[in-house]
Amino acid sequence: MCKERRERERERSVEMEEVRLVFIPAPGSGHLVSTLQFAKRLIDREERISITILAIQSAFPTTLSSYAKSVAASEPKIQLLDVPKPQPEHPPAQDSFKSPAKSFSLYIESHLPNVKKIVTSLVSSSHASKSLDSIRVAGLVVDFFCVSMVDVAKELHLPTYLFMTSSAGYLALMLHLPIRHKHNEVEPKDSDPEWLIPGIVHPVPPRVLPVALTDGSYSAYVKVASRFREARGIIANTFVELETYAINSFFHDGQTPPVYPVGPVIDLEDCQAHSNLEQAQRDKIIRWLDDQPQSSVVFLCFGSMGSFGAEQVKEIAVGLEHSGQRFLWALRMPPPKGKGMMPIDCPNLEEVLPDGFLERTNGKGLICGWAPQVEVLAHKATGGFVSHCGWNSILESLWHGVPIVTWPMYAEQQLNAFRMVKELGLALEMRLDYKKGGGEVVRADEIERAVVAVMDKESEVRKKVKEMGEMTRKAVKDGGSSFASVGRFIEDVIGNNCGSN
């Protein structure tokens, strides 16, 4: 009887206990935004969870920190703590431009000592407090690029959950990479045979593998990937209906930690405008779209790091003009030499566009720099999207039922584009293997054909994207697949009393 009473009391204390999760996102737009949005979703869903976000500052100036602060300020149960930069400060490596993934991993690892200090303090505070409202640190939720933080969690006897901001297909590649490396330690080449990756339907041509595998970052990528299976669980920003084949493969291999598909996790409010200039730009864009017919505008936008040189800009302009379609073009150009890596708005459109282009397309097209992507995709006037195929952008386009033309540029975007076209049938192919900085120029006639195709109102891809858009919304609602997956994750966090991996 006493044993039963103790068990009931233990269960009741677990039910009442509040827990804290410590999130460690990578300092990149696509990583930080989805991590913050997932944190918000968790606290909206479960009142017993509080979240502390450890913000590692980007090595290059961005406006992301102000975005994170605005999210935290609006949510009482989200605490934002800046991780001090390492001393001596870790400078961007000399080969940052050549192998950014390698440099990025080293930069993250340089923060390990300061992250350990902060997490140790949080754990000590919860142990020291005897009050009823003390909050137990239940684990770390780390971006997959921050997987080295598993060492901190192990030292403090905490579980680690990995947060994948990209697709289940990309997760399948990362889980496969260390296995392949054991048999073939050589960096892949475009001329190699196609890869057979469990979780991806079609054999994968090496030319669409993540750029980091062939730009000098291969060993760093293998090192990151080799630690994935040390996590207690993997949270993935995708959903079962979109990537059924990949997600099912994780449940059957017997080696992968539990995978929680919780997506789409996207910032539907698009709260990333931080200046009066950006707000004025946003208002101008939305007013222009308001004046356009329904589904008549093709939107060209290439992510926070996407940019083109003058020759490519001219080809895009000619292709758009010849297509006859209305367009909204977020035009960004490479920064001047020695001015960092972040693209800039074009200082003088007349210099880079064909003579008379602005006059001939006046009223039919609008060129901007920064654009409120989610609002544009949600607008009734938007009918197609020429995209770099970043995973957040793909999820946003599916949510709003806007078909994509593929123009990948960096990171894992080539793999995303390949799978969206060949496996999922949810995008139109322009390029699958384009690489930013590769010296290739996509010609105007190719751009023209792609733009005309994506704006076809009767295309099969458009129909499939509309259907998938309905599925994305159902997945996150009560009773949906991702809603249930979030519930299972919460159960694991709340019930994790052993405090170990």
Q: For 182-244, give the DSSP string.
A: HH--SPP-TTSPPB--TT-SSPBPGGGS-GGGTTT-HHHHHHHHTTGGGSSEEEESS-TTTSH
Strands 332-333 and 344-345: antiparallel
pLDDT at 404: 98
Q: Which residues contact 3 (CB under 8 A, 6 or more apart)?
A: none
pLDDT at 99: 67
Count of residues for the chain?
A: 501
pLDDT digits 0-9 by tens, 446-476: 999 999 999 999 999 999 999 999 999 999 9
pLDDT at 339: 76
**Torsions phi, psi of 34, nearest 5?**
-70, -35
Take residue 126 and report the two structure tokens written for it: 């919860």
Q: Count CB neighbours of 440 within 10 A.
A: 11
Amino acid at residue number 191: S
**Torsions phi, psi of 249, nearest 5?**
-65, -30
Q: For 470-490, give the DSSP string.
A: HHHHHHHSTTSHHHHHHHHHH
Give yes or no for residue 133 having a pLDDT over 70. no
Q: Which residues contact 115 (CB under 8 A, 6 or more apart)?
A: 24, 54, 56, 83, 149, 152
Share of the chain above pLDDT 70, in %: 89
Distance (Å, rounded) from C-alpha 78 to C-alpha 71? 8
pLDDT digits 0-9 by tens, 71-110: 777 788 999 999 998 876 655 544 455 567 788 889 999 9
Cβ pair 39, 53 in contact under 8 A: yes
Identify the band that residue 498 occupies on the pLDDT scale cut at 50, 70 and 90.
very low
For the chain, the average pLDDT equals 89
Give yes or no for residue 118 having a pLDDT over 80. yes
pLDDT digits 0-9 by tens, 209-244: 998 998 889 999 999 999 999 999 999 999 999 999
**What would the mean pLDDT of 422-445 be, rounded to a whole number?**
95
pLDDT at 250: 95
Take residue 320 and report the two structure tokens written for it: 């758009």
Identify the band that residue 129 occupies on the pLDDT scale cut at 50, 70 and 90.
low
Identify the band that residue 11 occupies on the pLDDT scale cut at 50, 70 and 90.
low
Distance (Å, rounded) from C-alpha 304 to C-alpha 29? 7
ω into residue 264 within 30 of 0, thus cis?
yes
Distance (Å, rounded) from C-alpha 111 to C-alpha 114? 6
Give yes or no for residue 271 having a pLDDT over 90. no
Query: HSE on the CB side for 267, CA within 13 Å?
Result: 25
User: Domains of the chain: which residue ranges?
Assistant: 11-265+475-495, 276-473
Amino acid at residue number 446: E
Q: Which residues contact 350 (CB under 8 A, 6 or more apart)?
A: 358
Give yes or no for residue 139 having a pLDDT over 50. yes
Identify the band that residue 500 occupies on the pLDDT scale cut at 50, 70 and 90.
very low
Give yes or no for residue 29 having a pLDDT over 90. no
Same fold, 11-265+475-495 and 276-473: yes
pLDDT digits 0-9 by tens, 295-310: 999 999 999 889 999 9
Query: HSE on the CB side for 489, CA within 13 Å?
Result: 31
Cβ pair 204, 172 in contact under 8 A: no
Residue corresponding to tokens 């992250």 = 115
pLDDT at 94: 47
Domain 11-265+475-495 has CATH 3.40.50.2000: yes
**What would the mean pLDDT of 22-43 be, rounded to a whole number?**
91
Take residue 155 and report the two structure tokens written for it: 């030292």
Q: Is 177 exposed, middle or buried (0-12, 13-18, 19+ CB in 10 A)?
A: buried
Can you identify the CATH homologous superfamily of domain 276-473? Glycogen Phosphorylase B; (3.40.50.2000)
Where is average pLDDT lowest: 49-58, 276-285, 396-405?
276-285
Most confident stretch, 105-109, 186-190, 236-240, 333-337: 236-240
Identify the band that residue 344 occupies on the pLDDT scale cut at 50, 70 and 90.
confident
Identify the band that residue 9 occupies on the pLDDT scale cut at 50, 70 and 90.
very low
Distance (Å, rounded) from C-alpha 41 to C-alpha 134? 22
- H/E stretch holding 83 reads strand 78-83
**Torsions phi, psi of 103, nearest 5?**
-65, -40
Give yes or no for residue 131 having a pLDDT over 70. no
ω into residue 88 within 30 of 0, thus cis?
yes
Q: Where are the alpha helices (DSSP H) in 148-267?
A: 150-155, 168-183, 218-225, 244-252
pLDDT at 222: 95
pLDDT at 56: 93
pLDDT at 461: 98
Which has the higher per-residue pLDDT, 195 or 71? 195
Measure CA 244 to chain center. 19
Give yes or no for residue 410 having a pLDDT over 80. yes
Residue whose C-alpha is closest to residue 142's, from 52, 272, 19, 41: 52
Distance (Å, rounded) from C-alpha 235 to C-alpha 42? 12
Give yes or no for residue 338 having a pLDDT over 70. yes
